[in-house]
Amino acid sequence: MKISAYWKSVIAAAGPVLLAAQAAIEDGRIDSGEWIPIGVAVLVALGVWGIPNKPKTGGQVRQ
């Protein structure tokens, strides 16, 4: 198994998880104002995950 194929997904998921953990740990609860950046981070992560990687020059996209 090559981890390089999964790095994009790992990095895309790590951001929202760390953001949510920081917001929750800071005061022990997540307020309504803290849900907005968490939601934006999750949407960005889904966008990163959903857009395919650019193929290498001269290569074909691997399915």
> Is the Cβ–Cβ distance between 37 and 16 less than 8 Å?
no
Q: Could you tell me if residue 63 is inside a domain? A: no
Q: Could you tell me if residue 55 is inside a domain? A: no
pLDDT tens digit string along 4-35?
767 777 777 787 778 777 877 788 887 887 78
Q: Could you tell me if residue 4 is inside a domain? A: no
Q: Could you tell me if residue 59 is inside a domain? A: no
The answer for residues whose C-beta is within 8 angstroms of residue 13's C-beta and 6 or more apart is 45, 49
Q: What pLDDT shows up at residue 14?
A: 83
Q: Could you tell me if residue 54 is inside a domain? A: no
Query: Per the structure, how many domains does the chain have?
Result: 1
The model scores a pTM over 0.75: no
Q: Could you tell me if residue 42 is inside a domain? A: yes
Q: 30: domain range?
A: 9-49
Q: Could you tell me if residue 1 is inside a domain? A: no
CA–centroid distance for 31 within its chain: 22
